[in-house]
Amino acid sequence: MIFSEEHESLCFNLNFSSPFNFTCQRCCACCYNRHIELNNYEIFRLTKYLRLSPQEFLNQFTDSGLRPSLKNKDNGACIFLGPSGCSIHPARPLVCRLFPLGLLFGPRGEERWGIMPLHPDCTGLISSEGTLADYLQSQGAIPYLRFARLASCRHP
Ligand code: SF4
Ligand code: SF4
């Protein structure tokens, strides 16, 4: 995601040392009506987890576009939302790992971190226990971030 006026109005002023933690209550309200685009690394992790070829995965679970995006069911739920929550949790995309954090890349790859608006029904708790870096580690976001950084350099 790159900087935009809309994002300028949000407060994107966190860094890796900023106090931050988020406790999700797993209500799944934020797994509806999303548009989650996938990069090649996310597709790789999902195909490995689901034991599918890239083509099988793309055909079954994504809508095509500039970039493939996860399908939603008729009721708006993410294609991977099951009765017990996210059915691909260990391989979930970066945006699901970061939420409610948002990451913007500037024209030279500079990063800005902030907190996105929560879903109106979200009961998750933001606190200052730990740092943003700790949170990223706890969500398994580090390899996903490496790829996102590379991709932002390739497509400034
Ligand atoms: S991939 Fe999982 S966590 Fe992300 S929106 Fe879908 S069900 Fe929710
Ligand atoms: S709406 Fe909030 S509490 Fe519910 S699953 Fe999403 S982040 Fe967690």
Q: What is the pLDDT of residues 29-65, one digit of tens each?
A: 999 999 999 999 999 999 999 999 999 999 999 999 8
pLDDT for 128 equals 93
Atom of ligand 1 nearest to the CA of 96: 4
Q: Quote the mean pLDDT of the chain.
A: 90
Band the pLDDT of 150: cuts 50, 70, 90.
Answer: confident
Whether the full predicted model's pTM is greater than 0.95, yes or no, is: no
65 or 2: which leads in pLDDT: 65
Q: How confident is the model at residue 132 (pLDDT cuts 50, 70, 90)?
A: very high
Nearest atom (ligand 1) to Cα of 85 = 7
**In b/e form, how buried is each residue of 49-73, taking b as 16+ CB within 10 angstroms?**
ebeeeeeebbeebbeeeeebbbebe
Task: Output the ligand 2 site: residues, CB below 6 A.
Answer: 24-30, 99, 119, 122-124
Inform me whether the pLDDT recorded for 10 exceeds 80: no
Give the domain range for residue 46.
5-154
Minimal-distance CA residue to ligand 2 atom 7: 24
- List the alpha helices (DSSP H) in 51-111: 54-61, 94-98
Report the residue among 27, 92, 97, 135 best suited for mutation to probe ligand 2: largest number of ligand atoms under 8 A from its CB.
27
The domain tally of the chain equals 1
Ligand closest in space to the Cα of 85: 1
Comparison of pLDDT for 116 and 56, the residue scoring more: 56
Kindly tell me if the per-residue pLDDT of 75 is higher than 50. yes
Whether the bond into 100 is cis, omega within 30 of 0: yes
